[in-house]
């Protein structure tokens, strides 16, 4: 196997990896800005310099020539090489900044040059705290600057499109954003304008940067030049907690991070998963954070005198729920699961009602034909269609649903905006008694008789099966009235949780929602109805599902965490991603 | 050198009226070399070997053996292969190719056709700088005439060899004279130099094997085929042979383009060929081959000849042989600032050291020029040059750094005189 010596250590490699990627893969570090593993290497930032040499071989025998000490004779490249574009060859010898003064000096030189026209406005820059330029300057940069003349001035606060704002002075011209639109999203909307130290990325005159994936350029921008118009100036990075989760606006199951502060989700960013979305996510999915904060239902409400809903107590809500069920036969109750809810939620609903006597379980699929793009957007608008199907919920068409509703006396509706997405009209829900378990106040929840607030994906740990049959789970990012960040081991800790005093943290009880996970609601209902159904945490529910539903065999939270999601074998891929 | 330059007869731009017209050109032995190689006994291999033996060193500045460059092309695989001719001529002080476009365009066309035949190229692109608008038009006319006469196109002169010939005008960027950014520009993209490897011979224009040659280099090719490699190597300097177009500008009495053998003594070129210094002033310095080549002091030119070896010994380079002559009244600080301003303006902005470094150099030089500089700024300038040289994708950073490094080195007294005494040292 071919070998390479990096800083005196021997490594073996296969194929033709690029040097920088190989160095990073092996846990070593070389500073870089323009390189991105998903895109071509333009080698323009000149930051990832290393010293490279190849052993001298005898032309005829192919044997390595040795010096008087029996060491291989190395022919060094006359100039230092950018490791991002360097192809590895057998026997290559590499020195990084760790073992070569010359390399460390060259990296420092480049850093000094990068910084001369950079505004250094970190105190007011959104990128500060997660800025590769900032981090690498501390690690590899010069101590000061010798630049005593005027910096170049360029346009600031340029709205490139509806979602992205540019500060051209901060730009270091790595061209990642330009290459993203050329190589990943394929819209070719960005280019570099002007020459030399006056250049910056921009759209063609009169054009908007309205790429459906435009916000990814904000993520990959190694400085604060491209910022999210929505998020900018909202929070400092170190004030937020970062919680791994799943996107629920589509069927792809894009891996995301939820960034929370003061119990509000402030932004979503993509989380790397090589099997699903790699580094990217669609712009639309980033808007989902609003649903976690705004229009949330807190405390149950019940319809009283006419069409007005009034808030009620949990006891009253459960009592009303149970009384309604007891007043009818199981055959008169229609239970609708939801592809917008998790596997655990649907399972707990199904288990309670089948124990009580209901036999048929349905859900209404949420598919928009032609919406998918063979990348990260799918026709399926729900995150868990395959999950509910695998649990045994039957798909029901709009017409069948309308007919079925007419004959039902009580309808239990798990979080699904049937009225809002046009499946039902609010008049369809007038006759039966409709109990909806919902996260957000919507037209659907307004048209129902009893609304019970449940936790959303940002508040519970639960799993979702994407269009390709991959099961992945969320972690709780927000506290509810009944959970506490320090008590829940699944909740992430931010820097302030770990190192700050109580007074450092942002605490506001107003942002805690009075809601409960579906399975806990089912527990209470079971107790009231006298059924022997009892659920533990969602982790335990998943273990129960794994042992009772064949599709989920072997699935557990631990495995999902270790393997970054599990591909279920029983589910055929509906769509194959490009 | 006791060479009698007056007895030399020009061959690249000979003294024949209306040579740019195809009939005049063919009446004076034009396209005979093309006919010669397209006849049966010259296979492409033989053409390449002949050109290699003639040791035509690239006239665009790098001075690489043209025949050797041609031999780097991979074996034909049936796909398209290209010859790209670099007529961007953007280096300040250089204006030689324009004479070929104007006075002897068919010599260049013939050379390009022979080169295309030698490398089995399917198309030739000639990239001419946008400012040369009239010469682009002239070239288009010349190509049309050559097409009409059957020298370009399908089955040239019944040999079965096909080649297409296209003219493209630049849009005024210096960087598009760099061979790989010229390819980008030809492809209709922004002129950014490409990372090498892959070299153009493997992946050039539209990802296909491509060779890039200077206009003057290609113009030498028909002469080599016609007169033989020995004739060519017999002209001028031994290691850098052939006729060359000297573009002499600056403070001389007769600035202009002069075709003479390589290896001409610089002082002979200034004193005799260009008619001596203007107004009888003293010579202060020369830039021998376009603005990026290191400046030479006027008092150190005795015995220095215009060929690669002699100039290397003297501490400079042949470049494009576009010589800029400066008299004793020249303000070296002003001159250097102006050159730095040019490179600052023309840096494409792709690589950090060049993008930021060229601007910084210019700003410091401006400060010195305005009398606000300090001695320590000179050290900073030299330091910056080390931070730029050899650290970028193309050679523009070197081209910007060399004039600064060598002008300060060779005229330091003048720079120091302009600087204030430093009050504190720079970290």
B63 and B175 inside one domain:
yes
Domain boundary among A228, A257, A277: A228
CB of A198 within 8 Å of any CB in chain B? yes
A189 and A297 inside one domain:
no
> Which structural domain range is residue A32 located in?
3-112
A197 and A262 inside one domain:
no
Residues paired with A259 in a beta bridge: A242, A267
Q: Which residues of A touch B356 (CB under 8 A)?
A: 113-114, 116-117, 197
Mean pLDDT value of segment B413-420: 90
B148 and B124 inside one domain:
yes
B271 and B393 inside one domain:
no
Residue B423 located in a structural domain: no
Measured distance CA(B53)–CA(B73) in Å, rounded: 17
Question: Is the CB of B351 less than 8 angstroms away from the CB of A147?
Answer: no
- CATH number at B283 reads 3.10.20.600
A275 and A400 inside one domain:
yes
The pLDDT of residue A578 is 33
> Which structural domain range is residue B210 located in?
15-233
- Cβ partners under 8 Å of residue B154, min gap 6: B162
Confidence of residue A255 (pLDDT cuts 50, 70, 90): very high
B351 closest CB neighbour out of A46, A106, A144: A46
User: What is the complex's ipTM, to 2 decimals?
Assistant: 0.90
Question: Is the CB of A197 less than 8 angstroms away from the CB of B347?
Answer: yes
A221 and A258 inside one domain:
no
Strand segments (E) across A100-249: 158-159, 164-166, 190-193, 200-203, 226-228, 241-246
B108 and B208 inside one domain:
yes
Phi, psi (degrees; rounded to nearest 5) at B156 = -65, 125
A556 CA: distance to closest CA in chain B (Å): 48
CA angle B386, B391, B396 (to 5 degrees): 90
| Domain count across chain A | 3
Measured distance CA(B87)–CA(A345) in Å, rounded: 71
A130 and A28 inside one domain:
no
Question: Is the CB of B348 less than 8 angstroms away from the CB of A109?
Answer: no
- CATH number at A186 reads 3.30.70.20
The pLDDT of residue A577 is 37
A204 and A337 inside one domain:
no
Domain boundary among A201, A228, A255: A228
Residue A574 located in a structural domain: yes
CA R_g for chain A: 28
Q: What percent of chain A has pLDDT over 90?
A: 84
Residue A29 located in a structural domain: yes
- What is the count of residue pairs from A and B with beta carbons less than 8 Å apart? 97
Of A375, A284, A486, nearest to A268 (Cα)?
A284
- Cβ partners under 8 Å of residue A46, min gap 6: A82, A110, B351, B352, B353, B391, B392
A408 and A494 inside one domain:
yes
Confidence of residue A485 (pLDDT cuts 50, 70, 90): confident
Residue B256 located in a structural domain: yes
Residue A434 located in a structural domain: yes
Check whether A169 has a pLDDT greater than 60. yes
Q: Which of residues 371-390 of B touch A (CB under 8 A)?
A: 380, 387, 390
A81 and A54 inside one domain:
yes
Confidence of residue B2 (pLDDT cuts 50, 70, 90): low
Check whether B290 has a pLDDT greater than 70. yes
Domain boundary among A82, A112, A142: A112
The residue of chain A nearest to residue B347, with distances taken between CA atoms, is A196
Question: How confident is the model over A57-101, as pLDDT tens digits?
Answer: 888 888 888 888 888 999 999 999 999 999 999 999 999 999 999
A326 and A400 inside one domain:
yes
Q: Can you read off the two tokens belonging to residue A99?
A: 């073992």
The residue of chain B nearest to residue A109, with distances taken between CA atoms, is B387
Question: Is the CB of B350 less than 8 angstroms away from the CB of A106?
Answer: no
Question: How confident is the model over B348-401, as pLDDT tens digits?
Answer: 999 999 999 999 999 999 999 998 898 899 999 999 999 999 999 999 999 999
B172 and B259 inside one domain:
no
B143 and B262 inside one domain:
no
Check whether B186 has a pLDDT greater than 50. yes
Confidence of residue A547 (pLDDT cuts 50, 70, 90): very high
CB of B357 within 8 Å of any CB in chain A? yes
- CATH number at B28 reads 3.40.50.11540
Residue B7 located in a structural domain: no
B134 and B229 inside one domain:
yes
pTM of the model: 0.92
Question: Is the CB of A196 less than 8 angstroms away from the CB of B391?
Answer: no
Check whether A484 has a pLDDT greater than 90. no
The pLDDT of residue A198 is 93
Length of chain B: 427
CB of A152 within 8 Å of any CB in chain B? yes
Mean pLDDT value of segment A551-570: 92
CB of B359 within 8 Å of any CB in chain A? yes
The pLDDT of residue B423 is 58
Residue B1 located in a structural domain: no
Question: Is the CB of B391 less than 8 angstroms away from the CB of A150?
Answer: no
A41 and A123 inside one domain:
no
B394 and B249 inside one domain:
no
B292 and B317 inside one domain:
yes
């Amino acid at each position: 196997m071919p070998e390479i010596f990096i800083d005196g250590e021997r490594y073996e490699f296969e194929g033709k990896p690029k040097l920088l990627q190989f160095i990073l893969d092996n846990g070593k570090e070389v500073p870089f800005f323009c390189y991105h593993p998903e895109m071509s290497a333009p080698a323009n930032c000149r930051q990832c310099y290393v010293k490279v040499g190849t052993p001298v071989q005898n032309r005829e025998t192919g044997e390595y020539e040795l010096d008087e000490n029996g060491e291989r004779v190395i022919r060094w490249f006359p100039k230092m090489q950018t490791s991002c574009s360097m192809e590895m060859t057998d026997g290559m010898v590499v020195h990084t900044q760790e073992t070569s003064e010359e390399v460390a000096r060259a990296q420092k030189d480049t850093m000094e040059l990068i910084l001369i026209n950079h505004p250094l406005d970190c105190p007011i820059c959104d990128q500060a705290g997660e800025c590769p330029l900032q981090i690498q300057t501390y690690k590899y940069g010069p101590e000061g600057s010798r630049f005593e003349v005027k910096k170049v001035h360029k346009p600031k606060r340029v709205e490139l499109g509806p979602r992205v704002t540019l500060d051209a002075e901060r730009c270091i011209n790595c061209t990642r954003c330009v290459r993203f639109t050329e190589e990943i999203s394929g819209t070719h909307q960005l280019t570099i304008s002007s020459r030399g130290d006056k250049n910056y990325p921009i759209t063609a005159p009169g054009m908007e940067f309205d790429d459906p994936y435009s916000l990814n350029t904000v993520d990959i921008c190694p400085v604060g030049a491209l910022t999210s118009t929505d998020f900018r100036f909202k929070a400092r990075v170190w004030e937020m907690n970062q919680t791994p989760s799943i996107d629920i606006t589509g069927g792809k199951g894009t891996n995301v991070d939820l960034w929370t502060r003061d119990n509000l989700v402030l932004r979503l960013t993509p989380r790397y998963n090589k099997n699903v979305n790699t580094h990217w996510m669609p712009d639309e999915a980033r808007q989902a954070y609003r649903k976690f904060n705004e229009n949330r239902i807190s405390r149950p409400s019940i319809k009283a005198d006419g069409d007005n809903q009034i808030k009620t107590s949990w006891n009253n809500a459960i009592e009303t729920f149970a009384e309604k069920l007891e007043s009818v036969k199981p055959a008169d109750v229609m239970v609708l699961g939801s592809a917008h809810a998790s596997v655990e939620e649907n399972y707990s609903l199904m288990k309670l009602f089948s124990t009580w006597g209901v036999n048929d379980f349905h859900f209404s699929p949420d598919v928009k034909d032609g919406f998918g793009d063979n990348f990260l957007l799918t026709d399926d608008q729900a995150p868990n269609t395959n999950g509910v199907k695998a649990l045994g919920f039957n798909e029901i068409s709009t017409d069948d649903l309308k007919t079925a509703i007419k004959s039902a006396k009580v309808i239990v509706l798990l979080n699904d905006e049937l009225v809002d997405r046009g499946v039902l009209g609010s008049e369809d829900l007038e006759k039966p008694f409709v109990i909806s378990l919902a996260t957000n106040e919507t037209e659907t929840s307004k048209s129902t008789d009893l609304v019970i607030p449940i936790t959303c994906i940002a508040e519970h740990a639960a799993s979702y099966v994407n269009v390709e049959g991959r099961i992945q789970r969320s972690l709780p990012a927000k506290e509810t009235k009944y959970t506490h960040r320090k008590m829940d081991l699944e909740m992430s800790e931010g820097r302030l949780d770990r190192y700050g005093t109580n007074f450092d943290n942002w605490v506001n009880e107003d942002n805690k929602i009075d809601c409960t996970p579906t399975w806990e609601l089912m527990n209470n209902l079971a107790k009231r109805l006298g059924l022997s159904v009892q659920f533990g945490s969602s982790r335990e529910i998943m273990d129960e599902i794994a042992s009772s539903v064949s599709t989920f065999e072997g699935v557990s939270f631990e495995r999902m965490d270790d393997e970054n999601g599990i591909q279920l074998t029983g589910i055929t891929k509906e769509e194959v991603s490009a | 050198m006791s060479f009698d330059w007056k007895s030399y007869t020009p061959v690249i731009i000979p003294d024949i009226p209306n040579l740019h017209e195809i009939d005049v050109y063919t009446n004076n032995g034009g396209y005979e070399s093309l006919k010669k190689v397209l006849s049966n006994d010259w296979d492409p291999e033989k053409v390449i070997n002949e050109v290699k033996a003639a040791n035509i060193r690239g006239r665009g500045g790098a001075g690489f053996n043209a025949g050797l460059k041609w031999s780097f092309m991979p074996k034909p695989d049936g796909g398209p292969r290209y010859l790209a001719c670099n007529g961007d001529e953007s280096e300040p002080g250089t204006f030689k190719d324009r004479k070929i476009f104007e006075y002897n365009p068919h010599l260049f066309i013939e050379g390009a056709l022979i080169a295309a035949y030698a490398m089995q190229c399917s198309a030739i692109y000639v990239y001419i700088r946008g400012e040369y608008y009239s010469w682009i038009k002239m070239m288009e006319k010349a190509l049309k005439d050559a097409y009409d006469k059957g020298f370009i196109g399908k089955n040239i002169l019944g040999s079965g060899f096909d080649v297409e010939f296209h003219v493209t005008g630049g849009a005024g960027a210096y960087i598009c004279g760099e061979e790989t950014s010229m390819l980008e520009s030809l492809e209709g993209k922004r002129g950014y130099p490409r990372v090498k490897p892959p070299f153009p011979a493997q992946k050039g224009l539209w990802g296909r094997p491509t060779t890039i040659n200077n206009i003057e280099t290609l113009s030498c090719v028909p002469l080599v085929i016609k007169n033989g490699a020995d004739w060519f190597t017999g002209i001028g300097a031994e290691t850098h042979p052939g006729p060359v177009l000297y573009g002499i500008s600056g403070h001389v009495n007769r600035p202009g383009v002069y075709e003479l053998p390589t290896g001409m003594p610089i002082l002979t070129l200034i004193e005799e060929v260009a008619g001596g210094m203007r107004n009888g002033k003293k010579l202060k310095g020369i830039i021998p081959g376009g603005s990026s080549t290191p400046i030479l002091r006027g008092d150190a030119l005795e015995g220095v000849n215009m060929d690669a070896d002699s100039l290397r010994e003297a501490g400079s380079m042949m470049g494009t042989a576009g010589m800029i002559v400066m008299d004793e009244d020249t303000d070296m600080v002003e001159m250097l600032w102006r050159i730095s301003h040019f490179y600052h303006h023309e840096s494409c902005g792709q690589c950090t050291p060049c993008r930021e470094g060229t601007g910084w150099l210019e700003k410091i030089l401006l400060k010195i020029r305005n009398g606000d500089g300090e001695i320590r700024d000179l050290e900073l300038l030299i330091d910056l040059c080390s931070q730029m040289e050899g650290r970028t994708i193309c050679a523009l950073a070197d081209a910007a750094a060399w004039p600064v490094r060598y002008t300060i080195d060779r005229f330091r007294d003048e720079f120091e005189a302009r600087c204030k005494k430093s009050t504190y040292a720079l970290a």
